[in-house]
Structure 1
Amino acid sequence: MKQLIKYLSAFFLALTLLAAVGCASTQKQEGTGEYFDDSVITSKVKAAILNEPGLSSAEINVETFKGVVQLSGFVSSRADINKAVAVARGVAGVKSVKNDMRLK
């Protein structure tokens, strides 16, 4: 009986370690916690852009990977691009902003 408990304990320990390693992040893939953090950052940036007068949030796409926010889409003026980048940089958790927005 003690031998069975010993084997079961070792099995569950190995299973736990495998699960922890499987959730770890790599250079090109996010871990589970990072994915949720990036989702929160994306939502906050979208909300900040929506609340900014003069910016059309429907035309600005926001994606986040490991804290780096990428803005893309088409806007009316260079001032709108600069304003959207500044708004995104002001959101907590944003490490940097990549600007891929284009003028209409």
Structure 2
Amino acid sequence: MKMQLRTQSFHSQIQVLKAVDDEIITANIQIALKQHPSMGQAFIHVETFAGGVELTGWVRKAVQEQLAVVLATEVQGVSYVVNNLSVRG
């Protein structure tokens, strides 16, 4: 009797790994933003797909907007950052 194993294709395994990486990237960016003392009173949503990051939401000062991009860029695994933040000061 032959035993059949159900295996995921290599492609689907890679997709799962990328999704996990994206979740880790998002979490690390959120931590970096929350821990930085200059990022108080900012509302930033982080979305990651295949290493690309989009920042949406708002900050109080333009310097916070720039800092958010820098903090996101410094996280390991980030390939690019799209800045869609608004300044509400």
TM-score (norm 2): 0.85
The answer on 1:46 being equivalent to 2:33 is no
Deviation at 1:20, TM superposition (A): 1.5
- Report whether the alignment pairs 1:93 with 2:77: yes
TM-score under structure 1 normalisation? Answer: 0.74
Greater percentage in helix: 1
Q: How many residues align?
A: 88
Contact 2:41 2:59 in 1 (8 A): no
Runs of 4+ in 1 over 6 A off after TM superposition: none
Compare CA radii of gyration and give the structure with the larger one: 1
**Contact kept? 1:74, 1:102, Cα under 8 Å:** yes
Instruction: Give me the whole-angstrom Cα distance separating, in 1, the residues matched to 2:87 and 2:34.
Output: 19
Gap change, CA 1:57 and 1:42, over 3 Å in 2: farther
Q: Could you tell me how far 1:54 is from its partner in structure 2?
A: 1.6
Residues 37 and 100 (structure 1 numbering): CA distance in 2 closer, same or farther, change over 3 Å? same
Q: Which has the higher strand share?
A: 2
Question: In the alignment, which of 12, 28, 32 is matched to residue 23 of structure 1?
Answer: 12
Identity %: 31
Relative contact order, higher structure (CA 8 A, sep 6+): 2
Q: Structure 1: which 5+ runs fail to align?
A: 26-30
Amino acid paired to 2:63: A
Between the aligned partners of 1:70 and 1:47, the Cα distance in structure 2 is: 16
Partner SS state of residue 93, structure 1: coil
Cα 1:83–1:22 change in 2 (3 A) is: closer
Question: Partner letter of residue 98 of structure 1?
Answer: V
2:51 corresponds in structure 1 to: 67
CA RMSD between the two structures: 2.0
Equivalent position SS for 2:38: coil
